[in-house]
Amino acid sequence: MSKIVRGMRLFCRVDQQQVFELYDLNEGLENPLLVAYNEIKHNAIIGEDLSEIPEIEAIGSEINQVLLNLVLNAVQAINERYREKQGIIKLSTWCDEHSVYCVIEDDGSGIADKNLSNIFNPFFTTKPVGQGTGMGLSVSHKIIVNRHHGEIMVESFPGKGTKFIVKLPIKHDLLKTIKNSDE
């Protein structure tokens, strides 16, 4: 129970939502796993390959939101494909001189080629009416690209799975970042 409460506290970071601070992406990946545990436990087995990476300058609550969106999308894609058995979600991290990378990969249903160019558009969804707003990936894109000056990339193969790659800079010119993110 204490692990879940700690995870929720770290996930929310309500008191510092708009502040760039040092953020541990590996620890950040643990939080959505705690928050979404009930969704994950019946649908997916988690594999982790987390490298030693530096802390980054980020708004932790926003990055946590992105990671949760990506993990929940992976669980839903697995559920669409398998229904009766568990799939696999692989989480990995690594870094280079200027950036850290996070990959969330699933062996779920995948995304059709015709939909790939629209997945970051607001309100776009492939789900039936009433089953989702289509805002998760749009918000995730805004957080990663506009607010944190990173990249979010996707590779998907229908019937085989999807891989999201999040690239975040290790350091920011904080004054420039805060000014630009409000535009």
Q: Over the stretch 84-111, which tens digit does the pLDDT of each residue have? A: 899 999 999 999 999 999 999 999 999 9
Instruction: State how far the alpha carbon of 3 is from the alpha carbons of 6, 7, 11, 30, 35, in Å.
Output: 5, 6, 12, 10, 10
Q: What is the pLDDT, as a whole number, of residue 70?
A: 95
pTM: 0.84
Q: What is the pLDDT, as a whole number, of residue 14?
A: 47
Q: What is the pLDDT, as a whole number, of residue 161?
A: 96
Domains of the chain from N-terminus onward: 2-181 (3.30.565.10)
pLDDT tens digits for 131-177? 555 568 999 999 999 999 999 999 999 999 999 999 999 997 654 44
Chain-centre distance for alpha carbon 175: 25
pLDDT tens digits for 27-80? 999 988 999 998 899 999 999 999 999 999 999 999 999 999 999 999 999 998
According to DSSP H, which parts of 83-173 are helical? 113-116, 136-141
Q: What is the pLDDT, as a whole number, of residue 153?
A: 97
Q: What is the pLDDT, as a whole number, of residue 172?
A: 79
E strand residue ranges, 77-181: 87-95, 99-106, 151-157, 161-169
Q: How far apart are the first and last CA of the chain?
A: 40
Please identify which residue in the block is written with the tokens 């970071």. Answer: 13
The C-alpha atoms of residue 167 and residue 131 are separated, in whole angstroms, by 29
Q: Enter the DSSP assignment of 31.
A: H
Q: What is the pLDDT, as a whole number, of residue 124?
A: 77
In this model, does residue 10 exceed pLDDT 70?
no
Q: Enter the DSSP assignment of 102.
A: E
Taking Cα atoms as reference points, which of 64, 162, 46 lies closest to residue 109?
162
Q: What is the pLDDT, as a whole number, of residue 177?
A: 46
The C-alpha atoms of residue 164 and residue 110 are separated, in whole angstroms, by 11
The type of residue at 2 is S
Within a 10 A sphere around the Cβ of 163, how many other Cβ atoms? 17
Task: Considering only residues 140 and 6, tell me which one the structure prediction assigns the higher pLDDT.
Answer: 140
